Structure 1
Amino acid sequence: MKRLIDRRGGVSTLAAIAMPALIGMGAFAVDLGAIHMRNRQLQGMADAAALAAANDPARAQALAEASVEAAGWPDPVEVRVETGGYTPDAPVADRFTPGGADAVRVTLNADTPVFLGVAMLRGDRVALERKATAARARMAAFSVGSRLASLDGGIANAVLSGLTGSNVSLSVMDHQALLDTDIDLFAFSDALRTRLKLTGASYDEVLAADLDTVDALQALADALNSDGRTGAASAVRTLAGQITAADLPLDRLIDLGPLGAGTTRPHGFGARVTAASLIDAALGLATGNRQVEIDLGANVPGVAKTRAWVAIGDRPVGSPWVAVSGTGDPTLRTAQTRIYLETEIAVAGLSALARIRLPILIELAQAEARLKSIDCASAAMRSATVEARPSPAMLSITEIDKARLTDHSRDIATGPAKLVRTLLVRVDGSARADLGGASGWQSLKFSQADIDAGVVKSVATNDVTRSAAASLMSGIDLDVVALGFLPIPVSPIVNAVGQQLAAIAPALDVLVNRLTALAGVKLGEADVRVTGLRCGQPVLVA
């Protein structure tokens, strides 16, 4: 009985029984570890091959194969390469789409030997497959509504005075310096960060900070001065000293897109605008819906007297004026604008006391622009394509309540205009011309040379076949009312007024275009500028 319960030698017995299993598990662990290591090595090779191939999609297969060969894998490796496009915000399975030229997907197939677990793994080799996708970051900076009126110191000062509620007096040389000077928005944001003492803040945080127009102008002057543009910097400081400060939400004006989260200026990429257009857009945003009154006197040939009222509305929410983007968002829009002109014209053939008083209302909706595509296929063919749609416009000869100009939420009540009024006769008139309502999106392609040169391209409405004023005058409806008891011949009066309006139409076209240009958009046109293009180094995306 003692032998039946003797436990001596039990461990040896158990070890002998478990040894085959222990040896098998050890072999399995060694082989799995080796397979995992080789799998990681193959993934590293796939990553390197994808990055190499994405540098030049036209030679993707050759570059990927060269990268794999350089890695020194001891056995044959099958290399499959697909070129395509990559959309980061699409569902995971749909992000890579074959057929493009901005992303590369590399698939490597190889096998690795099994050392100890041949029986358990049913063979002496295990097949491996690893994939990697690399894409080049594509971004463009673009703006809409960059048109500026031909220089006229008096008009420009009047507009700036009206926008700021101050008395602005810059010289023609100051205005010219601002028109001729570009400023990089990242450099401007850096200067703004320093002035506001926002150390470490991202560009988005700087643009969203509480600041006013004076802060912004002083920061602009700092950036210009650092860039050696002392003349433009001096003009900006002069302007900053003449205006009344107003809150300025810059993040509604400038959208730096994926680069806004950064804190340092991106190397080799800029988003540039003219100093004059930045000032104009910033002041217009800060004072939203302010009405500007301009007395042009007799500066228009053939016109005895001209006054103009310009009312610039707020920009649509989420629609900046300049943006950095790699996709079709955001859509940029100009501000809705109303212009009201009152001109006095001498009428040939009538009494010397008679004048045509011609009131014209111009309503401009938003011009729009959005990024359509970026071509990074090769350095020689780099380009960006922007779609733009010109501003629909309505012109009418009508009477309005000028106090309602700034209320862009409602249509303005209109009525026949009193064109001529004497002791014996009154001439009323009305006309309307709608321009650009049927215009669709039009594509503008900017090469790298265009971007470097600061080229501005325009799209125009396809239904403007003649001058706007001529269109308006040709359709005017005149009504002559006798105010006395004597019979008055109507035909000579109608003919005299009609001929005078037709004769003055070309001069009025020049005036209308100058005033609409101050609002950022020419009548029936929209200007687009691409100021930066980035076809960055390839990055692994999946």
Structure 2
Amino acid sequence: MYRLRPLLSKFLKARSGHFAIMTALTAPAAIVLAAIAVDSGSLYVEKRQAQALADLAAIAAALNPTLATANAQRTMSDNGVAALVVGRNSELSGPGARDRLLVTTGHYSARKEIDSAARFDPAGATKNAARVTYRTLGTRYFAGALIPPPEIVVTGVASATPVAAFSIGSRLARLDGGIINSLLSGLTGSQISLSLMDYEALLDTNVKLLSFIDALALDLDVGAGSYDEVLGANLTIGKIAKTMRSTGEIQGPALTALNSLVNQTTNGSVLPIKLSDLVDFGNGELTAASIRQVGVDMNALEFLMMSAAIAGRGKQVALDLGAQTGLLSAVVSLAIGEPPQHSGWLTVGEAGSLVRTAQTRLAITVEIGTPRDLLSLLGARIRLPLYLEAAYGEARLKSITCDGGFNNRKVEIEARPGIVNLYLAEVDRSKLGGFANPMARSPARLIDLPLVSITGQAQAEMSNTKFTSMTFTKADMKPPVARTVNTRDYLSSLTGSLFSSLSLSARLELGLLGIPLLTLPPNTLGKLTGAIQNVATPIDDLLYRLLSVLGVSLGEAEIKVYDANCGRAFLVQ
């Protein structure tokens, strides 16, 4: 007994065997933890691999939404997933396969106001994106006998939006330096005086849109990642001309003209115009990469004139063009409205994008001489108060196709000219800018003598309510070729049609009473009508020159496509 006590005491005090005992006790727990770690790490790697496969399949599917499922399957097969079952609708589970795939096409919008989770719309009419959901079973190396293999479900969304750059407006095929100077001066509040050679030099010069934006961003000290601040900056015509000059792309006579324009607009008032009013890049985040999808070479003069027209929205401009028209007198008041559902003059966008011309109102009072044999009206002038309303013309991008490769790209545009109404009538010029309200019209006083008053009224309309489709190929884009859609129900002179429906009446003015005249020199009203009809051509010419400078053509819509890109697929979610 006494011999056992020292041995027991020595055993209890010994430390050499504790590690072995602790190892024996904790080894099972450590082995379990190690197995869990290996299984978890393996599942993490498998999920990353599955996500990469889903992303690749989504990119392949988005490149051609009509073949989205086949392209996604091929991508999965090329990456080692051959035994694959493709689900329908929301079907991702079911017997018979380890790997299942669900491909859904839809429309993806990058608009900032839409929550990121709702930007992919499976019900969207325009398919520009694909969502691929991939389900597979993970591998458990240690716990497979105890726990069933987990499902790995991953989703990739990719978009490949074809975009095109196109515009609507006038080709400015015929220039008139005097009218352009008058319009620019009235719209900008500056005294613009450029020569016809200056305008022709600008008409023959193009500047790259991206170069213009980069130069403006540099001047505003804006970073290259996003151009939102550039789009929202307040600009003047002088600022636009200065930015064009700083691109380094304009030389010779055009550079001289820009220098003159910059100097002449230095003291002009700041105009309420933003770059986004001119150029529409859609509703997504604007980046340098998105701009570079298409190349746009802007005509320098068109860009300046559209800037002035947009800057003058709602502003009434008075012009005296009598000496420039061959008429005795031609006094013009014009007002330019804003297109409904704002759209730029030029847009870079996808199918469904719109461009529109501005609504325009013109009040023109023309004076011409009377025929010599109208003795009773000797010394009087014939006064023709004309009022013209031009609704916006519009063009929309219908489709972009690249069948057979990028060099075979085609752009289909649907366009229609705006409705034009011309009246022989009196209007209140102070209300021209009130586009929300119709203009009140009254019979025109053509001859107003102390005792005799001759009035008349007439109306002519150019209208085309249907869209006309036109196709632009690669050859039509570099350089851009202007295509014209014309009003179908209009073949003759607008003013000629107006005067052909002219109705005249004569009255004897006695105090406040107007008494119809029963006797006038023979055929007086007929000769008066003939004299009015003889000036239809110069009045038509005046209307054409005025409106074409503003980007509006009578009964026409002129469309240009600058470039198109069928889109590079990229992940969006």
Structure 1 match to 2:270: 247
User: Relative to structure 1, is the Cα distance of residues 29 and 268 closer, same or farther in structure 2, using a 3 angstrom cutoff?
Assistant: closer
How do 1:216-295 residues align onto structure 2 when only pairs under 5 Å count? 216-223=240-247, 226-243=248-265, 244-248=267-271, 249-250=273-274, 251-257=276-282, 261-262=286-287, 266-267=291-292, 269-288=294-313, 289-295=315-321
Identity of aligned residues (%): 31
Query: Which runs of 5 or more residues in structure 2 are unaligned?
Result: 1-7, 87-100
Q: What is the CA distance between 1:479 and its match in structure 2?
A: 0.2
1:241 counterpart SS class: helix
Distance 1:284 1:163 in 2: 7
- Maintained 8 Å contact 2:454/2:505: yes
Bigger drift between 78-87 and 276-285 goes to 78-87
Distance 1:63 1:410 in 2: 55
Distance 2:540 2:164 in 1: 35
Structure 2 match to 1:493: 524
Structure 1 match to 2:160: 136
How do 1:44-59 residues align onto structure 2 when only pairs under 5 Å count? 44-52=52-60, 54-55=62-63
Q: What is the CA distance between 1:473 and its match in structure 2?
A: 1.6
User: Relative to structure 1, is the Cα distance of residues 153 and 380 closer, same or farther in structure 2, using a 3 angstrom cutoff?
Assistant: same
Q: 1:160 is matched with which residue: 178, 184, 189?
A: 184
Q: What is the CA distance between 1:110 and its match in structure 2?
A: 5.3
The TM-score, its normalising length taken from structure 1, stands at 0.81
1:432 paired with 2:459, answer yes
Q: What is the CA distance between 1:69 and its match in structure 2?
A: 5.3
Structural RMSD (CA)? 4.2
Structure 2 match to 1:309: 333
Q: What is the CA distance between 1:492 and its match in structure 2?
A: 0.6
Distance 1:173 1:100 in 2: 47
Q: Which has the larger radius of gyration?
A: 2
Query: Which runs of 5 or more residues in structure 1 are unaligned?
Result: none
- Maintained 8 Å contact 1:347/1:354: no
1:537 counterpart SS class: coil
- Maintained 8 Å contact 2:108/2:119: no
Distance 2:174 2:284 in 1: 34
* CA offsets 1:308-343 (integer angstroms, 9 cap, x no match): 333334566844333333364666451433242413
* CA offsets 1:3-47 (integer angstroms, 9 cap, x no match): 9xx9x9999999989876765564354334323322321221232
1:141 counterpart SS class: strand
Instruction: Read off the aligned partner of 1:358 and give its amino acid letter.
Output: L
* CA offsets 1:345-369 (integer angstroms, 9 cap, x no match): 5437424645432221112233344
Structure 1 match to 2:206: 182
Instruction: Read off the aligned partner of 1:257 and give its amino acid letter.
Output: G
User: Relative to structure 1, is the Cα distance of residues 215 and 423 closer, same or farther in structure 2, using a 3 angstrom cutoff?
Assistant: closer
- Maintained 8 Å contact 1:144/1:334: no
- Maintained 8 Å contact 2:103/2:131: yes
Instruction: Read off the aligned partner of 1:273 and give its amino acid letter.
Output: M
Q: What is the CA distance between 1:136 and its match in structure 2?
A: 1.3
Q: 1:360 is matched with which residue: 386, 405, 411?
A: 386
Q: What is the CA distance between 1:291 and its match in structure 2?
A: 0.8
The TM-score, its normalising length taken from structure 2, stands at 0.77
Distance 1:197 1:101 in 2: 38
Distance 1:247 1:386 in 2: 36
How do 1:79-158 residues align onto structure 2 when only pairs under 5 Å count? 82=103, 84-88=105-109, 92=118, 95-96=121-122, 102-106=128-132, 113-122=139-148, 130-148=154-172, 150-158=174-182
User: Relative to structure 1, is the Cα distance of residues 219 and 113 closer, same or farther in structure 2, using a 3 angstrom cutoff?
Assistant: closer
1:291 counterpart SS class: strand
- Maintained 8 Å contact 1:328/1:372: yes
* CA offsets 1:473-504 (integer angstroms, 9 cap, x no match): 23222102357999734661122122333444
Distance 1:343 1:311 in 2: 21
Distance 1:99 1:285 in 2: 32
Distance 2:50 2:220 in 1: 50
* CA offsets 1:67-102 (integer angstroms, 9 cap, x no match): 5455457x8556768584432368749634699774
Structure 1 match to 2:344: 320
Q: 1:43 is matched with which residue: 21, 32, 51?
A: 51
1:531 counterpart SS class: strand
1:510 paired with 2:541, answer yes
2:160 counterpart SS class: strand
Give the total of aligned pairs. 531
